[in-house]
Structure 1
Amino acid sequence: MLFLENGGGKSVLLKLIFSVMLPGHRNTLGGASSGVLRKFLLADDCGHVALEWQHVLTGECVVVGKVSEWRGRQVSNDPRKFAEAWYSFRPGPGLSLDNLPVAESTAVRAPVEGQSGARGRRRTMKGFRDALMEAGKTYPHLEVHWEEIHDRWIEHLGDLGLDPELFRYQREMNADEGEAAGLFAVKKDADFTDLLLRAVTDTRDTDGLADLVSGFGNKLGRRAELIAERDFTAGSVDLLGRIVEAAEARSRARDIHAGAERRTRTLARRLSARGVQERARAADLARRGRPPPRMPSPTPRRPASAAR
């Protein structure tokens, strides 16, 4: 958060940050009369904006920056003659924020923390790019990246973990150099809808939003039909579920019946075989001989007294 009086440079600082983190957006603060970034450079200048970010948990750092100059070394009102490029690297041995190769020599004096040691003739954009890429080849751990297209640079920022959308909200809140609460000061539903659409919609792809709204409108118009179709589908699923359960119960009953039938047939075959064996044993015993006949029992004698 910056606390400075009017004219202290708050808008300029934000404009420089947005030129790196929001390329291709309108980076003018305080109205159109404030001018644009290209008015800061003279014909022979090569402008540099560099930002160093540090991860709050891991402590890992990354440097992102922007280089600008006038094509042909001539100031023009044609924005197409204003060349811009962006770069990133991981600071470490060989290259850091304090020794960017903005000049041909950076070893004239001992480095001082927070100050650039660059001395000598200033490099052009091409010279700076060549020096940066050469450092990347010599020190692969720097992971040097160079980009000249807005969309690709925004994608690269996302790959680095830097979300440009966060800075878009900052630009919206500081558009009139007022309080941040002014961004959310809506008076009617239409204002809130506009705010929401700006927050979630890419202004470069309005056709996609139109297709989305059209598709939603078509679905809303078919709401009654879709509800009836949903109810029919839900009822069909319920009935089909019951049919599936009945089919599974029938299949289980068939399996049980088939198992009982197999066991019954097996038992019948075993009983039939046992009957054959028993009949054979009985016939064998009959051939071996009959049992001896029973002897008649003797007649008991009567007592003599009884005979008389």
Structure 2
Amino acid sequence: MSLTTKSVFLLLALSLCSGLSGQVTADSWVNWESPPVHPLELVSGSDLLLATNTADSHLEIYNISSGVPVPFLSVPVGLDPVSVRARTATEAWVVNRISDTISIVDLQNGYVRWTLMTADEPADVIFAGTPQRAYVSCSGTDEIMVFDPSDVTAPPEIISLIGEEPRALAKSPDGSTVYCAIFESGNGTTVLGGGFDGGVNVIAFPPNVVSDPAGPYGGVNPPPNANGDFEPPLNPSTGTPPPVALIVKKIDQDVWVDDNGSDWGDLVSGPQADLSGR
């Protein structure tokens, strides 16, 4: 959150408090919290579970050696922590969305040993590459900041993104590639529900339109993934595969196609869109 925006919110809050003094009740109070991104982390090489306490601006550390989480330490961090990642068995980075900071926490002694300033509204952090770097998504400025964990005083590299509000981060198994999920990407895709058709595992919304006979595959679910066939071929010995959802992409007005090029437009924005919950 930018400094100007924070100042406006602070002035507004002070005005409301002064104007409503003695009138605010417990029933009228609303708790606003930032959206969590990666709020839980199991620490590799230890018996610790980390959890961001967004409302209280703390990192909660639990010992899970007994199989049941037992409170171990509670560490004050920045405002609205939304993500935590352990860099080592003794160090974790906590992403604080409102204070625009990263709290680097000593997990053994329970204190913040360093605070990194970030761009507006950081959302997530992940460690990848050789030498290792810390990648921080900043949803307010649509960029990724790249820090050197071995020298946190060094200026970060900035990677600008095409997309609005980058949030969750992930990496490839070998750590050579970092992936970023864009919250408002506007890439012209949507999801068609697959769900389950019966039993106890019923998904009420979105409705299972992939299994509807009105679709381009006549209700076959899972639909073929290589034109009219499956690649790799289905293995009969594994039993009936579960139904799946589909991602389709808009390529023209009311034309939404899957990987095979089959058009689901009637069920997305056409006359039968109600079948997909639209």
TM-score over 0.5 for the alignment?
no
Kindly indicate which of the two structures has a greater share of residues assigned to helix.
Answer: 1
Higher RCO structure, 1 or 2 (CA under 8 Å, sep 6+):
1
Q: Give the structure-1-normalised TM-score.
A: 0.21
TM-score by length of 2: 0.23
Query: Quick check: which has more Rg, 1 or 2?
Result: 1
